[in-house]
Chain A
């Protein structure tokens, strides 16, 4: 497998506070990589550097490099909007726009310049199908997205992200606000999506990481403690701190 994202010696500071310390990781293409670790260890921070969502927070500073498809995403000639199109994101809380289901999915493509109605219809349908939501909503696409269940909303957010044709999908605890059945659906969906997309997910649920991911990264206090094939990391961790964490002794 080839590395799509190559993180090298990354330091990130929020003002004086160093949230990431010399993080180096290769994230392979078309696979699911899970970030685990106790609260506050920097999982979200690292995830949000991948689509430069940290740019908005005043006082953040970065050293080291992150390459996506060989290109340093923090170099000055990178267009952040193009990057974010390629690296989509699904958040912890489902956050559909207060608009119709159709408009939610069509939103990105429309604002990126697609006006043709038929083309938009196709994008909406294929994105909703990819997010395994089409059959549930196809008869009321004009209804408000706020009227569907939380699990459906989260899949709608996935469809919305897919509609701008990303290569990478970042998921920050995207199932933690959902019931077990919806969670399972999203996990199955992720399995399906990894055939076409590179997925990086943050999760607090060890079972989830073990079930769905191909490789797992364990963080502690802004550092990568262990990075391995998921099966290996859970069955045979090298570092004692990893073992303590996955066996639930802290965190």
Chain B
């Protein structure tokens, strides 16, 4: 077999594999969307669920998912950025950093049900945060933090050495160089990674079952005081997210339209994650242009 035929066969093989993967993905997405989109309406997105009767919505669950996302990111982003900057710029490379990196890898690949049980034992019971959004956010931080650290580290490592040296040679301190030269260059990478990590929060169910809980109190959407127990903004209330809701109605839903609701909710979930990814890409490019004055 000469090089040319080998090349042709390899190309054909790669194209076939790619096509199969795209087909599977498209099929999966299409199936979920086609089954669910018809059920989505303004009412469905805003009204609370019903246990026995038909016609329930997913309003509180959608809100919970978004709110949990914000909470998780408030915890993850500062910690992840800080640790990533430390790992990439301050820690002396050696056994210590290798070990931290290993731990980070292991943490981020933990099965989520294990993290959920850990959350139940430690966060919910031992620390006494109970079933709450806050407990859920901490549990999700367990996977998202490692991701965030790695993304930050990679982002900073991708900054050309010349840029860093240029900053230092101007007499800028290390921190000023990192903050004002390296981070802006790294930001598209960090931002895109962050938003991808955020997508994971949205889809997570297993880790939340035992931490954020499987029920929501009757939320009063006119009460925005974060301390009152029925306020949607109270982080210490239990909260069922969209993904958990889908799991629940699929396994024990009593309403006659449970399958439709599950399908609709799944479609909403997928659409939200897709939107997230698109916004991430667009925003990353936008910020990059803004920071670098390239047109």
Contacts and interface: CB of A to CB of B under 8 A. Distances in A.
B171 A95 contact: no
A207 B291 CA distance: 41
Interface string A12-39: 0000000000000000000000000000
Contacts of B160: 95
Interface string A92-116: 0101111110010001100110000
A147 B294 CA distance: 8
B152 to A, nearest CB: 19
Contact of A81 (B172, B294, B295): B172
A98 B294 CA distance: 8
B295 A56 contact: no
Interface string B138-176: 000000000000000000000010110111111111001
A216 B294 CA distance: 41
Interface in A76-94: 81-86, 88-89, 91, 93
A143 B293 contact: yes
A7 interface: no
B170 A160 contact: yes
A239 B212 CA distance: 80
Given A53-B165, A95-B162, A111-B180, A144 B292 contact: yes
Contacts of B173: 81
Chain B contact surface mostly = helix
A131 interface: no
A107 B166 CA distance: 11
A89 B169 contact: yes
A89 B169 CA distance: 6
Contact of B293 (A81, A93, A95, A144): A144
Contacts of A161: 169-170
A108 B170 contact: yes
Classify chain B: how many residues form its interface, as a range.
Answer: 20 to 34
Interface size classification for chain A = 35 or more
B208 to A, nearest CB: 40
B181 interface: yes
A120 to B, nearest CB: 15
A161 B138 CA distance: 46
Query: Which of B93, B170, B173 is packed against the most chain A CB atoms within 10 Å?
Result: B170
Contacts of B33: none
Interface string B84-113: 000000001100000000000000000000
Nearest to B172: A111
B185 interface: yes
Contact of B170 (A56, A96, A107): A107
A175 interface: no
B294 A164 contact: no
Nearest to A146: B294
Contact of B171 (A81, A91, A93): A81
A91 B170 contact: no
A70 interface: no
A144 B171 contact: no
A79 to B, nearest CB: 9
Contacts of B93: 58
Contact of B295 (A84, A86, A95, A144): A144
Interface string A121-157: 0000000000000000000001111110000000001
Max chain A CB contacts within 10 Å: which of B92, B169, B185, B292?
A: B169
Nearest to A93: B162
A164 B162 CA distance: 19
Contacts of A146: 292, 294
A146 B165 CA distance: 17
Contacts of A203: none
Contact of A144 (B169, B181, B185, B294): B294
Interface of A: 51, 53, 56, 58, 81-86, 88-89, 91, 93, 95-100, 103, 107-108, 111-112, 142-147, 157, 160-161, 164
23 contacts: A51-B169, A53-B165, A58-B92, A81-B173, A82-B171, A84-B169, A85-B170, A88-B169, A95-B160, A95-B165, A97-B163, A98-B185, A98-B291, A99-B292, A103-B293, A108-B170, A143-B293, A144-B294, A144-B295, A146-B292, A147-B294, A160-B170, A161-B170
Given A84-B170, A95-B160, 11 more contacts: A81-B171, A81-B172, A84-B171, A91-B162, A98-B291, A98-B294, A100-B293, A107-B170, A112-B171, A144-B295, A164-B170
